[in-house]
Chain A
Amino acid sequence: MSSLPHIAPSTNPENLIQSEGFIPPTPRITAIRTELLSTPYSICLERPKLLEEFWRSKKGRQSAKTEHPFVHRALGLQYIFSHRKPRIYDGELIIGNMTSKRIAPNYYIEGGSINILEDITHLGKRTIPLKLTGRETLELLRIGLQNSFKSVGAKAVLRPSRFSYFLDFFRAKRYFVTEEAGIGHQVGNYRMVVQEGLLYPYEEAQQRLTEGKLADGSLLNADQKEFFRSVIVTIDGIRKMAENLADEAGELALQPGVTEKRKVELLESAKACRHVPFEPARTYLEGLQAVWLVHMALNLEDFEQGLSFGRLDQILLPLYRNDIVQGRLTPELATEITASFCLKACETIPLYSERIDKFYSGNGVAQALTLGGTDAEGNDVTNELSGLFLHAYAQVLTREPAVHVRIHPLTPDWFFHKSIELLQLGSSRPSLFGDTAIVRALEEAGMTKAHARDYAVIGCVEMASQGRTYNSSDATLFNLPLCLELALNEGKKFHGKARIEGPRRFGAPTPPVSALKTFDDVMEAFRSQVLHGIDDMVKVISWLEEAYRAIRTTPVNSIMTQGCLDKGKDVTWGGGLYDYTSIQAAGLADAGDSLYILNKVVFEDKRFNLEEFVRILRDNFRGREDLRVELANKYPRYGNGNSAADRMTQLAADAFADALWAHKNTRGGQYVPGFYSMTCHVGFGKVTGALPNGRLNGTRLSNGLAPIDGSERLGPTAVLRSAASLDSKRWMNCYALNMKFDKQVVQGETGRKALVHLFKNYFAQGGMQVQVNVLDTETLKAAKKDPSSYPGIVVRVAGYCAYFNDLQPDVQDEIIERTPHGIG
């Protein structure tokens, strides 16, 4: 934190937010941050215990028998909300504990939490240790085992007829189903929460029940009645949770030894929690507090991944401006409150076993903020609060929340520069999103222009029109290059582990290689494999969707999604105004480059016939290292602005998009593609055989929309050109384009300006998203020690750019030690 460039307080708030440097953190923020960073992770067992308590109680047993599943579910949630113990931590200005521990994931009986039992013997010794007492560990084991058949996943696939799909689940070769753990991934209607309060859905539900009719006048059926009852029950629970917090704050304020200042703050928090989220917020603090309370409820309802805040710089602006005018608030104070809010987001982590961590490493849940952008008419609405959120995040630089910035042709320069200045601090935040391409893709997926322009990012890169969309945006990750392996081997892997799967065919029965006479034949087989994989996957997801509707409806999410109250339907029943299921492909560049090279060496240059070439792949290039290295180094690749290579990447992406667009989910929502891979490219890589582009069996696949590590030979401008040249119109769920820069290359004002121009140009050419790592000396030192964990770092050497890992150790040292003279 000491490296943060500070600016002197200014009397002009606009200057303070827009000029170079960041508002320094107050001692309070530093203290909370320090405490969070030194707190070990644990697992919270409060939620499952309360749920069991409810199920065992008289009321719970009765409701299970007599109530509709919607209401039974809502009563369970209500019980959790109203019985959980409120905890308020030192100094925080936004209150409301995510779990019973300072930092912990919830254990969701109904979700995928059971995977953690795989690590039960060594929880404290994992790469990411989880600290539990012996008693808690036993309790965890009991909860897990006793409820193992109550999860959505178990309900969906634990049937004899679905056994092979159950295996697919665990092998995670072709796809990895996240939806089994929960849907999460939502940008709720926080505009409603802040401006109207939960009072609005509450009264709406009451009115529907009184009238016995929907707003459009049609009569309520039995399910719809129960839905509206579940809304009321749920909101009562949230109110109680807020009240309990208010009581706790009030009590703490009266404790001896509490400073006068803290007492005022606690009473202020108590006052806020008695008012929001039920009533509309009256101040900036109440606005953020309301958002936080509903965010907690969403976390407790489903699971924690990708629950996002949306465009808070827009939603909270009227409150902020009013507070400033009234003299209640200064930008500095607002920044402190906002930083406190950001730090609350650090209280949660995902619950992954080490096996699953291979696919989702990084421990993030991506509670996303989206800043800047336009209004429904396309006018720029970037404002002082957009900038203030950047200042607040600069004070914490924590893994959560995720900060995303919308860039469009009219984005003010100061905001673009401020965003890049934040990136230069090395936290890889914010990610940048290009409105033009994204709005186009959202419209293509059926949104009105106005709604598309009100998009906010779900989690990492996924898309929603905020408060209107039910997007199972991370339903599944899909292994695209594997489809090429299957296409070259009649639907089988080159090598199956004997016994478990033998030479089992799990792909489509495409023709043997001897029958693939042209490149079109190969493409056809590839497409068949993609279709077949997607078909299977859609089947599994449809079972999950059924299970959700039966045992795991999500009333909070439904309250937070427009359309549900109009239709009288839970989101899981298709209540959302917009509904999608999104599948992300990993290894796009590997698939594209492999298609290119296969076509080149087999069909164009005729160096091998297809059978020979496939034999080489099957043998994992054994004895042909020279060929493998040649294929990897000497052929055109995606990411170098080479249109022939880029076209093949487009073809691979189109095969995936075609297969998805042919499907609708059981709620009637469209399947749409996205291209990001979390760390699935590592997990999938382990189960994918050798590829024509020289990639060896078992090694990492390409990440998101990025070129393969080491293949972008012409530097960042060509990478961005290739990415922007791809037609992303049908990629509703966006993509992640990861770029790494050596800090020396992009530091200072020169670097800032250059990155602004670089990305402005990229978005003008049609780019959707880019995320940037600015690497400092420490990272380079780490990369030298452990090269395989740090691929693709481009450094500027003398007169040329090089991959850090390709440099000789002494040159690496020279770069690490390079003094900050701005050597070119």
Chain B
Amino acid sequence: MGSAKPLIFSIQHFCLHDGPGIRSLVFFKGCPLRCIWCQNIESWKQEPEIAFKAHLCINCGRCVEKCPEHAFSEVGKRNSRFCRYCFTCTDNCPSGALTRFGVSKSVEDLMEELRPEFSLFKTSGGGVTFTGGEPTLYPEFSSALAKNLHAEGIDVTLETCGLFNLEKIRPLLQELQLMFFDIKVFDEARHRKLCGAGNTDIKNNLKSLVNDWNKKSGPFVWPRLPIVPDMTDGYDNIKGWAGFLNDLGISFLTIVPYHPMGANKRRWLGLPPTHNLRIPTDEEIHSIERLFLNEGIKVYKPGGENIKEHYTGA
């Protein structure tokens, strides 16, 4: 990991739930975690991928006909063993049923793509949010992009899974006022099982970043916790994180209730569906809010964070 030039798998404008104001999201491809509830499954691999959205296919046969490797046995059906990822199929697919996830873009490309939104960022107090995937996999690139944006007066926010080499991303952190730091499973072994990696480094990173903020030498850190029934919503998990946050002097967090709306992406990428996942009920959400509140931690929903209140209070 650490290749200089990332692939971007999406840029999305008019986002209201990933930081203050109106924001554009830049999705970096590649993630060190493999959370089983992940709804952006196309973000995992750093390499480009080809998805097939069967419902858009018009059965024209262009993919079968044009593929130089003859990797398509029938329309939309690609044998990845033969595929050399030349993207002839996605380029020629008329409907977009065959879609490429992950395009290499330069800092300049991204600046130009984002520039039309700048005035809206400025009037709304918004900006750009780096998300993914994991933007910190590309420390040089992401800090260069952030620096360029910052130079034009654009606010940059980061959403991270927390698993990174802190020293390597210091230049990026210098460009940020705020970062969303995802916490998931408190128990190390369980974290390893559900998210594909341990959480010791994540916890240490969170601790260091909060210390830096307290010393005014880093961005403001805002934790977020996905609520996945039977995985992250247990009493011990909530108590564990509440205690951890309290020790750090953090009295707020955002909870992100699980939703299954990325489920169709698994199908597009030919992956089996996940089981045992469901949307938390209102009651479950309320009881988690109460648990945190009892520990002195205020709970927010995405987009509803009163960042100023805590920012100035810190």
Distance to closest chain A CB from B149 (angstroms)? 17
**Contact of A62 with B by CB under 8 A:** no
Q: Would you give the 0/1 interface string for A798-820, flagging 1 where the beta carbon is closer than 8 Å to chain B?
A: 11110000111011001100110
Using a CB-CB cutoff of 8 Å, which residues 83-124 of chain A contact chain B? none
From the candidates A629, A798, A821, name the one contacting B261 in the complex (CB within 8 A).
A798
Whether B13 and A822, one on each chain, are in contact in the complex, defined by CB atoms closer than 8 angstroms, is no
Contact B264 A808 (CB under 8 A): yes
> Smallest distance from the beta carbon of B233 to chain A beta carbons, Å?
13
Q: Does B260 reach chain A (CB closer than 8 Å)?
A: yes
Distance to closest chain B CB from A314 (angstroms)? 28
CB <8 Å contact, A641 and B303 = no
Residues of A within 8 A of B303 (CB): 750, 822, 824
Please state if A760 and B123 are interface contacts (CB–CB under 8 Å). yes
Complex contact A822–B302 (CB within 8 A): yes
Q: Mark B9-35, 1 if CB is under 8 A from A, else 0.
A: 010111111100110010100000000
Q: Does A797 belong to the interface (CB within 8 Å)?
A: yes
B60 at the interface (CB under 8 A from A): yes
Is the C-beta of B208 less than 8 angstroms from some C-beta in chain A?
A: no
A748-B304, A758-B120 known; A801+B58 contact, CB < 8 A: no
Distance of A320 Cα from B56 Cα, bound (Å): 58
Asked whether any CB of chain A lies closer than 8 Å to the CB of B272, the reply is no
How far apart are the CA atoms of A718 and B15 in the complex, in Å? 13
CB contact between A815 and one of B21, B27, B119, B261 (< 8 Å): that residue: B261
| Contact among B17, B22, B62 with A757 in the assembled complex (CB-CB below 8 Å) | B22
Residue of A nearest to B260 (CB): A814
Contact of A718 with B13 at beta-carbon distance under 8 Å, contacts A798-B259, A814-B260, A824-B303 already known: yes
> With A750-B303, A751-B16, A815-B261 in contact, is A799–B123 under 8 Å at CB?
no
Q: A274 contacts the other chain (Cβ, under 8 Å)?
A: no
Range, interface on chain A: 35 or more
Say how far B279's CB is from chain A's closest CB, in angstroms.
6
Known: A625-B60, A627-B94, A721-B116. A819 touches B14 (CB 8 A): no
Identify which of A8-16, A22-30, A709-717 touches chain B.
Answer: A709-717
- B114-142: contact bitstring with A at CB < 8 Å (1 yes, 0 no)? 00110110011010000000000000000
Supposing A799-B40, A811-B261 touch, asked if A717 and B58 sit within 8 A by C-beta, the answer is: no
Chain B residues with Cβ below 8 Å from A824 are: 15-18, 256, 302-303
Nearest Cβ in chain A — how far from B104, in angstroms? 19
> Is B274's CB within 8 Å of the partner chain A?
no
B residues 41-60 in Cβ contact with A at 8 Å = 55-56, 58, 60
| Bound complex: CA A748 to CA B300 (Å) | 14
Question: Is the CB of A626 closer than 8 A to any CB of chain B?
Answer: yes
List B contacts of A818 (CB < 8 A): 259, 261
Instruction: List, in ascending order, chain A residues with CB within 8 A of B120's CB.
Output: 717, 757-758, 761
Contact B259 A626 (CB under 8 A): no
Q: Are A633's CB and B94's CB within 8 A?
A: yes
In angstroms, Cα B126 to Cα A801, docked, is: 19
Q: For the complex, is A823 an interface residue (Cβ under 8 Å from B)?
A: yes
Q: Let me know if B94 and A630 touch, CB within 8 A.
A: yes
Q: Is B162 an interface residue (CB 8 A)?
A: no
- Name which of B12, B17, B40, B120 has the most chain A CB atoms within 10 A of its CB: B120
Is B301 among interface residues, defined by CB-CB distance under 8 A?
Answer: yes
Contacting A at CB under 8 A, from B90-114, are 94-96
A629 touching B95 in the complex, CB below 8 Å, given contacts A721-B116, A811-B261, A824-B302:
yes
Which residues in A have their C-beta under 8 angstroms from that of B211? none
Beyond A715-B14, A745-B16, A808-B55, whether A750 also contacts B119 by CB under 8 A is no
Set B12, B21, B62, B301: member contacting A715, Cβ < 8 A = B12
Is residue A753 within 8 Å, beta carbon to beta carbon, of the partner chain? yes
Interface string of A600-641 (1 = CB under 8 A from B): 000000000000000000000000011101100110000001
Contact call B12/A761, Cβ cutoff below 8 A: no
Task: Report the bound CA distance from A124 to B18 in whole Å.
Answer: 53
A757 to B13, CA, bound (A): 14
Q: Which of A633, A758, A821 has the most CB of B within 10 A?
A: A821
Contact A641 B14 (CB under 8 A): no
Residue among B12, B17, B123, B261 making CB contact with A822, cutoff 8 Å = B17
Interface check B76, CB cutoff 8 A: no
**Cα separation A745 to B261 with both chains bound (whole Å):** 14
Q: Which residues on A sit within 8 Å (CB–CB) of B263?
A: 811, 814
Query: CB-CB < 8 A to B14: which residues of A?
Result: 715-717, 754, 758
Closest to A630 in B: B94
Cross-chain contact A761 with B119 (CB below 8 angstroms) = yes
B39, CB-defined interface residue at 8 Å: yes
A74 to B85, CA, bound (A): 80
Partner of B257, one of A798, A799, A823: A823
Measured CB to CB, the nearest residue on chain A to B18 is A824
B163 to chain A, nearest CB (A): 20
Bound-state CA distance A810–B15 (Å) is: 24
Of the candidates A634, A801, A810, A823, the one having the most CB atoms from chain B within 10 angstroms of its own CB is: A823
Q: Is B230 an interface residue (CB 8 A)?
A: no
**Does residue B194 face the partner (Cβ distance < 8 Å to A)?**
no
Least CB distance from B290 to A in Å reads: 16
CB distance from A369 to the nearest CB of B (A): 28
User: A717 touching B117 by the CB < 8 A rule?
Assistant: yes
A634 and B94 within 8 A (CB): yes
Is B10 a contact of A800 with CB atoms below 8 Å? yes
Residue pair B16, A754 in contact (C-beta under 8 Å): yes
Q: How far is the CB of A115 from chain B (nearest CB, A)?
A: 41
Chain A residue nearest in CB terms to B60: A626
B40 contact set on A, CB distance < 8 A: 798-799
Q: How far does the alpha carbon of A188 sit from the alpha carbon of B285 in the complex, in Å?
A: 55
Residues of A within 8 A of B302 (CB): 822-824
B228 CB, nearest partner CB in chain A, Å: 13
**Residues of chain A with a CB closer than 8 A to B12's CB:** 715, 799-801
A815 to B14, CA, bound (A): 19
CB distance from A167 to the nearest CB of B (A): 39
B270 interface residue per 8 A CB criterion:
no
- Please report which residues of chain A, range 719-767, place their CB below 8 angstroms from some CB of chain B when the two chains form the complex: 721, 745-746, 748-751, 753-754, 757-758, 760-761, 764-765
A797 to B22, CA, bound (A): 17
What is the interface of chain A, defined by CB distance below 8 A to chain B?
Answer: 625-627, 629-630, 633-634, 641, 714-718, 721, 745-746, 748-751, 753-754, 757-758, 760-761, 764-765, 797-801, 806-808, 810-811, 814-815, 818-819, 821-824
Contacts A714-B13, A715-B14, A819-B282 known; 4 new A-B pairs at CB < 8 A: A754-B22, A798-B259, A811-B263, A822-B302
Which 10 residue pairs spanning A and B have beta carbons closest together?
Answer: A824-B17, A630-B94, A757-B124, A798-B262, A626-B60, A798-B39, A822-B301, A629-B94, A798-B261, A821-B257
A-B contact pairs, 10 of them (CB 8 A): A627-B94, A715-B12, A718-B13, A757-B120, A758-B14, A798-B259, A808-B264, A814-B259, A814-B261, A818-B259
Residues of chain B having any CB pair with chain A under 8 Å: 10, 12-18, 21-22, 25, 27, 39-40, 55-56, 58, 60, 62, 94-96, 116-117, 119-120, 123-124, 126, 256-257, 259-265, 279, 282, 285, 301-304
